[in-house]
Amino acid sequence: MTTRIDGRKLAQQILSKVAEDVAAAGASGRVPGLATILVGDDPASAVYVAAKRRAIREAGMRDFHRALPARATQEEVAAVIDELAADPAVSGILLQLPLPGRLDAPALIDRIPVTKDVDGLTTASAGLLARGVHGLRPCTPLGVIELLDAEGIPIEGARAAVVGWGELVGRPLAQLLLRRGATVTVAHEFTTDLAAVTRPADIVVAATGVRGLIGPEHIKPGAAVIDVGMHRTEAGLTGDVRAAELEGIAGCITPVPGGVGPMTIAMLMRNTLYAAEWERAAA
Amino acid sequence: MTTRIDGRKLAQQILSKVAEDVAAAGASGRVPGLATILVGDDPASAVYVAAKRRAIREAGMRDFHRALPARATQEEVAAVIDELAADPAVSGILLQLPLPGRLDAPALIDRIPVTKDVDGLTTASAGLLARGVHGLRPCTPLGVIELLDAEGIPIEGARAAVVGWGELVGRPLAQLLLRRGATVTVAHEFTTDLAAVTRPADIVVAATGVRGLIGPEHIKPGAAVIDVGMHRTEAGLTGDVRAAELEGIAGCITPVPGGVGPMTIAMLMRNTLYAAEWERAAA
């Protein structure tokens, strides 16, 4: 029997707890606020930003939003970030990616102050994570850790394989798993024998962007399989894992959709709450 | 036949090249300078700093040195760092570790400007490494990569096991190996079956601080074994690897002493040269 981990349910529990904490903060006149910045009119980005803004309002936080045209210059986007950075009502700043190709995205991301970096993607936040000191961590990796914990999967002493070494998921997740005491192997496009890397693992995380890459040949019976992939197909959303083929092999698996996806927004809301607390503690 | 990798010879070649480049920079009136800061009177630290200062002078660079008493306060050490940070003749700043326990070492390290961080240990440098952008990297991991390259050991596509997840070696080295395309496993004190992790590896790096931890049971025939350990015994210096037992098993191995050790100072000199070039490019 392979357990399907319900990311929607866990995300909802986390969001309820965040809403409670926001209400408590609000009672003391300190309502956290999240600013989303959307540059251009990419339809997928618009959908993601709308979902985040809905979550902000449902959590009882203040929703700051800035929409800039696709032709916005580096200086114009920078000015918006600087204005939000200086605004004490704004606890967190989220610059929706990808940006139009002409813009220097890393430079813009690095304008976000580390205390407001709710996506955890600035160089400063990456440094805090690498050194293991207090800071805001990227949302999807945080969500993966929460799912493992909620499912009661031991991390300390476990062998984990992180397949994919991207900046949003694989790289920070490897750090988080190591920090929790897992023995971590990172695989990627240069890995010659992927199954040899993943088969010894108790926890396999697929964040490759390659649809259906991971199948039964990669998974040890009983392992926890976390699918971070998200691919639109005619049959609906599907992931990096051939989930149906793992039935009866994996100990548990996150479905796509309804696994890791909902957790990302939940962790963004929690990061915004943490950012508000951090800025208050630092003030 | 197990090849013993000659770190002294390679370090000397790198130091000669650095001295040439320093002479060329000096001909244009831009001599790089390295400032070493020694707090207190730990004899081992004094020996290390003396060796670094000797290398500075031999490379033709300017030797700035500050010695502070063991009772120096956080503010006094910070003031020295700030003064050196503001001095355009100082290309790099090295704060010799460990500091006396009362001092907040991470806070002092983070006062070093990222362009002068020749040890690569600031949070800012860790962030640049994590993101894979231009910056100064820690010296010992750089030396390990140089040794592998000089020995002609392929890194891209290789399986590497990094044993030890410390801030000076294991953590940054894992990043450097990943960046070069190795499939990297990081093991540490919570790893339950170390041999299972190291035996598939083409490259095994031991940076554990545990004398003689790694033996033939851990090593695949033909693997490259890099020993970062350094332990003083009555019989002389020895490492984390039981080197004699790997004779005829390992493809190559770094001896202790004379392997990784000499490379660390060579990479510090090269980092100082790079720091001088970086500051000039940024000016």
Judged by CB atoms closer than 8 Å, whether chains meet at A126 and B127 is answered as: yes
Which of A104, A180, A183 has the most B C-beta neighbours within 10 Å, making it the best mutation to test the interface with B?
A: A183
Residue A280 has pLDDT above 90, yes or no: no
Q: Cβ of B130 and A128 within 8 Å?
A: no
Answer yes or no: is pLDDT of B143 > 80.
yes
| pLDDT greater than 80 at residue A60 | yes
Q: What is the mean pLDDT of chain A?
A: 97
Interface of A with B in 72-111 (CB under 8 A): 106
Instruction: Say if residue A166 carries a ligand binding annotation.
Output: yes
How many pairs of residues across A and B have Cβ atoms under 8 Å apart? 93
To the query of whether residue B9 is one of the catalytic residues in this protein, the response is no
| Res. B279 pLDDT band, cuts 50 70 90 | confident
Using pLDDT thresholds of 50, 70 and 90, give the confidence band for residue A179: very high
**Measuring CA to CA, how many Å separate A120 from each of A106, A113, A126, B187?**
12, 10, 7, 25
| Rg, chain A, Cα only | 19
A257-277: pLDDT as tens digits: 999 999 999 999 999 999 999
Mean pLDDT in residue range B40-67: 96
B119 is catalytic: yes
Would the CB atoms of A184 and B185 count as touching at under 8 Å? yes
Nearest beta carbon to residue A185 from set B127, B183, B192: B183
Banded model confidence at residue B36, pLDDT cuts 50, 70, 90: very high
**pLDDT confidence band for A283 (50 / 70 / 90):** confident
A278 known member of a binding site = no
Q: Which residues make Cβ contacts (< 8 Å) with residue A228, sequence separation at least 6?
A: A140, A144, A164, A169, A205, A206, A207, A239, A240, A260
Q: Read off the pLDDT of residues A185-239 as tens digits, 9 standing for 90 and up.
A: 999 999 999 999 999 999 999 999 999 999 999 999 999 999 999 999 998 999 9
Q: How confident is the model at residue A27 (pLDDT cuts 50, 70, 90)?
A: confident
Q: What confidence score (pLDDT) does residue A132 get?
A: 94
Which residue is closest to A179 within chain B, CA to CA?
Answer: B165
pTM: 0.96
pLDDT digits (tens, 9 = 90+) for A33-56: 999 999 999 999 999 999 999 999
Chain B residues within 8 A of A192 when measuring between CB atoms: 157, 183
In this predicted structure, what is the pLDDT of residue B264?
Answer: 97
Q: How far is A133 from chain B (nearest CA, A)?
A: 9
Q: Which two tokens stand for residue B63?
A: 């030797």
Question: Is B192–A126 a contact, with Cβ atoms under 8 angstroms apart?
Answer: no
Task: Report CA-CA distances (Å) from B230 to A19, B150, B158, B238, B264.
Answer: 53, 22, 26, 6, 13
Q: Quote ipTM for the complex.
A: 0.95
What is the structure's pLDDT at B283? Answer: 73
Can you give the pLDDT at residue B230?
94
**Residues of chain A neighbouring B178 (CB-CB closer than 8 A):** 165, 186, 188
Which pLDDT score is estimated for A14?
98
Which residues in chain B are contacts of A200 at CB distance < 8 A? 196
B2/A contact by beta carbon, under 8 A: no
**Is A281's pLDDT higher than 90?**
no
Inter-chain contact A126–B124, Cβ cutoff 8 Å? no
Q: For chain A, which domains are there? A: 28-114 (3.40.50.10860), 139-261 (3.40.50.720)
What's the average model confidence in pLDDT over B230-239? 93
Maximum average pLDDT range among A19-33, A217-231, B20-34: A217-231
List Cβ<8 Å contacts ≥24 apart for A104-111: A104/A74, A106/B131, A106/B133, A107/A74, A108/A74, A108/A77, A108/A78, A108/A81, A111/A78, A111/A81, A111/A82, A111/A85
Per-residue pLDDT for B171 more than 80?
A: yes
Burial class (CB in 10 A: 0-12, 13-18, 19+), A221: exposed
pLDDT of residue A101: 94
Which residues numbered 154-213 in A keep a CB inside 8 Å of some CB on B? 156-157, 159, 165, 167, 171, 174-175, 178, 181-188, 190-192, 196-197, 200
User: If pLDDT is split at 50, 70 and 90, which confidence band does B273 have?
Assistant: very high
- Which pLDDT belongs to residue A121? 97
Residue A88: what pLDDT? 95
| pLDDT for res A26 | 85
Q: Which residues of B fall in the annotated binding site?
A: 164-166
